[in-house]
Amino acid sequence: MKTKIFCDIADLKLIKFFNKKKIVDGFTTNPTLMRKAGAKNYKLYSQQILKIATKKKISLEVFGDNYKDIHKQALKINSWGKNVYVKIPVVNSKGLFMGKVIKELCKKNIKMNITAVYTSQQVSKILKVINKKTKIIISLFIGRASDAGKDPIPEIIKSIKLSKKFKNVEILWASVREPYNYIQAKQLGCHIITIPPSIIEKIENFGKSYDKLTIETVKTFLNDSKKSNFKIDY
Ligand code: G3P
């Protein structure tokens, strides 16, 4: 099975650049990335993204914090494009499971990306409220879990296993920390991995030999010692 690469991004110029790449199958955004990219008007900014990425899947997140707002925002965001996946947090900021709204949106066949997921237990709860025909991505935040000293690998392995009965569910490795995460995601049979632009470029250059790496490393240290004019008297 192929592990699809999405680009975790909000900057419009970079989206233009990465949209042309064959290696990139889709895009994910979030309010933090949008804010960093300078977005002021959420709807207009999202629509600018959708004007660039007309064919590839794109996840756009709701920012409501209760069932009603999330439901309304999801319907709006969904109407902005056929390639949109509405990103719904698994719980709200009070820790309340958003199962009810996920279930309702499923009935309307709204494609969703359930986000901020960390455990297979959460995945199991999500799978209980969805139907079998709606396309659902479930995003596990692997990097943030390991940042907190947790081992996220057993959680993603169990999540992939649980998702096997649902042919429209894809498990996404989110919160990437290093290029090697792509190899790990492939080995585990993860459906998708979403990767920041700079790490995608490193993945495109995979394959250097150990000999080449060692020479490059030594050269860098040598060049920097020359540039700094380091000297030891002997
Ligand atoms: O877009 C969701 C996720 O990939 C965020 O990653 O690096 O902010 O933990 P990060």
Domain membership flag for residue 205? yes
Return the ligand 1 atom nearest residue 29 CA: 1
Going by the DSSP 8-state scheme, the letter that residue 121 receives in this structure is H
pLDDT score at 148? 98
Structural domains counted in the chain: 1
Which amino acid residue places its CA nearest to atom 5 of ligand 1? Answer: 175
> pLDDT tens digits for 17-26?
999 999 999 9
Does some domain include residue 34?
Answer: yes
Tell whether 232 is covered by a domain: no
User: Per the domain annotation, does 59 fall within a domain?
Assistant: yes
106 inside domain: yes
The residues near 78 (Cβ < 8 Å, ≥ 6 apart) are: 84, 86, 110, 111
What contacts 23, CB < 8 A, 6 or more positions away?
5, 200, 203, 204
- Identified catalytic residue from 13, 56, 68, 87: 87
Spatial distance between the Cα atoms of 113 and 85, rounded to a whole number of angstroms: 6
Query: For atom 8 of ligand 1, which residue has the closest CA?
Result: 175
pLDDT at 1: 79
Q: Could you tell which of 6, 115, 156, 176 is best to mutate to test the pocket of ligand 1, judged by most ligand atoms within 8 Å of the CB?
A: 176
Give the residue carrying structure tokens 């650049």. 17
Q: Is residue 56 part of a domain?
A: yes
Tell me how far the alpha carbon of residue 141 lies from the centroid of ligand 1, in angstroms.
7
pLDDT digits (tens, 9 = 90+) for 114-160: 999 999 999 999 999 999 999 999 999 999 999 999 999 999 999 99
CA-based max dimension of the chain: 79
Alpha carbon distance 194, 182 (integer Å): 9
The CATH number of residue 94's host domain is: 3.20.20.70
Q: Which domain holds residue 216?
A: 4-227
Q: Are 88 and 102 in contact (CB under 8 A)?
A: yes
- Nearest Cα residue to atom 10 of ligand 1: 175
Q: What percent of the chain has pLDDT over 90?
A: 100
> Which of 115, 194, 199, 200 is the pocket-test mutation for ligand 1 (most atoms within 8 Å of CB)?
194
CA 170–ligand 1 middle distance (angstroms): 17
Query: Is 158 one of the annotated active-site residues of the chain?
Result: no
Residue 234 lies in a domain: no
Angstrom distance (rounded) from CA 15 to CA 116: 23
Of 36, 49, 141, 146, the one to substitute when testing ligand 1's pocket (max ligand atoms within 8 A of C-beta) is 141
- Please state the pTM of the whole predicted model: 0.95
47 belongs to a structural domain:
yes
Q: In which residue ranges of the chain is pLDDT below 70?
A: none
Burial state string for 163-190 with b = 16 or more CB within 10 A and e = fewer than 16: beebeebbbbbbbbeebebbebbeebeb
Q: Tell me which long-range contacts 21-24 makes (C-beta under 8 A, separation of at least 24).
A: 21/200, 23/200, 23/203, 23/204, 24/56, 24/200
Q: How far is the CA of 76 from the centre of ligand 1 (A)?
A: 24
